[in-house]
Structure 1
């Protein structure tokens, strides 16, 4: 749990791919032992951890994993784990295990954003263990969603597909909102695997679940909206080399996100849009989008955001005779010194 040791878990491997525990193997399995502490946990403790987890999630979306990861680890270590060892009613203990699972998932997500991929996998696996101890299939599916998301980002298509299949097979009894997220990610993994028919079918499933969904009661799961679906459609289109269709979906997504965007999300998604506009040969349009990225980038600390800036520089360097490209590149060097070549 010591954030100073995360560097030991390198950023480049994916050892947990496909090795996560099956739901039937962990459902109801005790994860912690009571240690005889004097205090007892109650519903108020569960509410406090849930609220803090939600606030940490919001903070993460606004400022990035490099800022939020260590504070979330400290909260888990010094508050939540002692609570898991304290006595309480069975219902309260299971509720605490569920929110601890969500917090561990969130820390894994933060670790991915900070570039700590080995650490992220450990937190996702811990989230699964606590979900099993709580008999909470939703928390288990959420942890698998994290595994699949990480695998997609790292280009591990088979691992992403295995995680998506496992999550979808367990998600029969979970809320429609979470099922929509799972189906959308499964569609992206199927597209990466080259299965067009399955990917399109899963997008329709995500849309059906979205129509039935209400905002999630979970601390770290938002509402699967039309904007979320457009983002999934854009990624599926891109996997099948339909760059123009992907750009169109990303633009619709951007329009639908107005007023809801947190800074890191804007940097990542606008960075993706700019890269695809550039691939279509729309240099000036891409430069305009990248300029928006640079406006928000200084306010966040994120390895994924850093990579967007590096990709921007790599794309622009052959075009520095173009006035807009040169001005943008120079602005990038001011905003992100060290990421762009002199």
Structure 2
């Protein structure tokens, strides 16, 4: 029988990570696995086996690597852990490759279009230790060659088409949810946009097409994030950054970094959220007031998540000041308005422990929100009801959840589904209340209707 060789690479990483026990490391792996959709039940004895040279299950290895990366605050490779060649390649592995960004975009988009691959993508791992890219470095590194024949050429009309379609898809996202909008967007990206990216064009048109494609890719990342496919969302965000760098489009680059900051905040990676938000603001060119508000608002949330009260309120003041100087136009992609500002205020106050203040700010956000933003309003009401219940205001929470259901009936969205599940769970201890019984009955009817559809 062949004797196993001790895994010195993993042992060295564990020494560096300084977990007090192997059991703590195993628990961290189990938590990361849960983010991937895996049910892992490792304990300290499993870690002992790995250190002795036993290889963990292939599906679990990415979770082990990511747990180490998060603990150490830097990327850890499969080779470092002694697990051999990396297992996450292609569309599942976010990275700044330095190669043709369009080819990677095609791979990711095609996989997202394929229903048999979409489930795998949805459970691909979010890499918390992915470094923040520098715009100038990406600009120097990212290059691609056109492969068009002499008769294939695009102009400003094709650029305008991509911009228009991106705005239309954003509208569908707001009204009906990401589950309807994202497959359409991925198909348009792969079948129409990527061939245009390879077509012949003037320098101005090529830059315009790259910038437009970057906006669409950013939107796909946003939708994947909303659908809780965080690894896929990060992958799209990375590609949006690369395209923006090739186009030398600072605005989309900064906007995408801000989206990545929000994703990190949603996943409770507080330091990473603030790092990304600060990087987005620092990289911004002479931004207009609306973009400035868009970026500083996310900085405020990041500061609150790490407990920096002073910085959080300074950033909120900067956000309000910038927004007051903006015109009335609101971009369909990455727009920022009064509703978004009040949502940031609510997020900051809640992170700092002011639940009543966060409730009032969220109500202000809903009052300022355009009627067509069904998905955003459903998310806001889902959070608002939970916080009202946290304060002990059961009837107010029921009223808010009823408003949530008004939107939920028309949405196809993983995040809205999550709010629906949370509502039902949080109401179970209060089944005797008349308002709860009415709300629960309505929820059951919606379940039946969606099952029929």
TM-score, structure 1 normalization: 0.93
Paired position in structure 1 for 2:434: 323
Contact residue 186 and residue 199 of structure 1 kept, 8 A:
yes
1:54 paired with 2:167, answer yes
Taking the aligned partners of 1:185 and 1:120, their CA distance within structure 2 comes to 18
Contact residue 264 and residue 273 of structure 2 kept, 8 A:
yes
Paired position in structure 2 for 1:182: 295
Of 196-205 and 153-162, more deviation after overlay is shown by: 153-162
Taking the aligned partners of 1:106 and 1:59, their CA distance within structure 2 comes to 12
Paired position in structure 2 for 1:209: 322
Contact residue 16 and residue 121 of structure 1 kept, 8 A:
no
Aligned pairs for 1:82-97 within 5 A? 82-97=195-210
Tell me which of 380, 387, 390 is aligned to 1:269: 380
1:173 aligned counterpart, secondary structure: coil
Taking the aligned partners of 2:337 and 2:120, their CA distance within structure 1 comes to 38
Following superposition, the deviation at residue 29 of structure 1 comes to: 4.7
Specify the structure having the higher radius of gyration (Cα). Answer: 2
1:22 paired with 2:140, answer no
Paired position in structure 1 for 2:341: 229
Following superposition, the deviation at residue 265 of structure 1 comes to: 1.4
Which structure 2 residue ranges, 5 or more long, are not aligned? 1-108
Give CA-to-partner distance per residue, 1:163-192, whole Å, 9 cap, x none: 101101111323321121111011101101
Higher RCO (Cα < 8 Å, 6 or more apart) = 1
Following superposition, the deviation at residue 30 of structure 1 comes to: 4.3
Distance 1:31 1:69, change over 3 A: farther
2:361 aligned counterpart, secondary structure: helix
Paired position in structure 2 for 1:336: 447
Aligned pairs for 1:1-342 within 5 A? 1-2=109-110, 3=112, 4=114, 5-11=117-123, 13-15=125-127, 17-27=129-139, 29-37=141-149, 38-214=151-327, 220-222=333-335, 224-257=336-369, 259-336=370-447
Give CA-to-partner distance per residue, 1:297-328, whole Å, 9 cap, x none: 12111111011111111210000011111221
Which structure 1 residue ranges, 5 or more long, are not aligned? none
Contact residue 29 and residue 132 of structure 1 kept, 8 A:
no
Contact residue 330 and residue 337 of structure 2 kept, 8 A:
no
Taking the aligned partners of 1:50 and 1:16, their CA distance within structure 2 comes to 31
Distance 1:243 1:253, change over 3 A: same
Taking the aligned partners of 1:154 and 1:336, their CA distance within structure 2 comes to 28
Following superposition, the deviation at residue 10 of structure 1 comes to: 4.6
Distance 1:219 1:245, change over 3 A: closer
Following superposition, the deviation at residue 18 of structure 1 comes to: 4.1
Of 101-110 and 26-35, more deviation after overlay is shown by: 26-35
Alignment RMSD (CA, Å): 1.9
Of 200-209 and 248-257, more deviation after overlay is shown by: 248-257
Contact residue 124 and residue 232 of structure 2 kept, 8 A:
no
Taking the aligned partners of 1:15 and 1:264, their CA distance within structure 2 comes to 26
Contact residue 176 and residue 374 of structure 2 kept, 8 A:
yes
1:101 aligned counterpart, secondary structure: helix
Taking the aligned partners of 2:353 and 2:124, their CA distance within structure 1 comes to 26
Taking the aligned partners of 2:167 and 2:129, their CA distance within structure 1 comes to 27
Taking the aligned partners of 1:101 and 1:150, their CA distance within structure 2 comes to 18
Give CA-to-partner distance per residue, 1:248-289, whole Å, 9 cap, x none: 1111122222x4442111211111111111111110111011
Between Structure 1 and Structure 2, how many residues are aligned? 337
Give CA-to-partner distance per residue, 1:78-103, whole Å, 9 cap, x none: 11111110111111101111111110
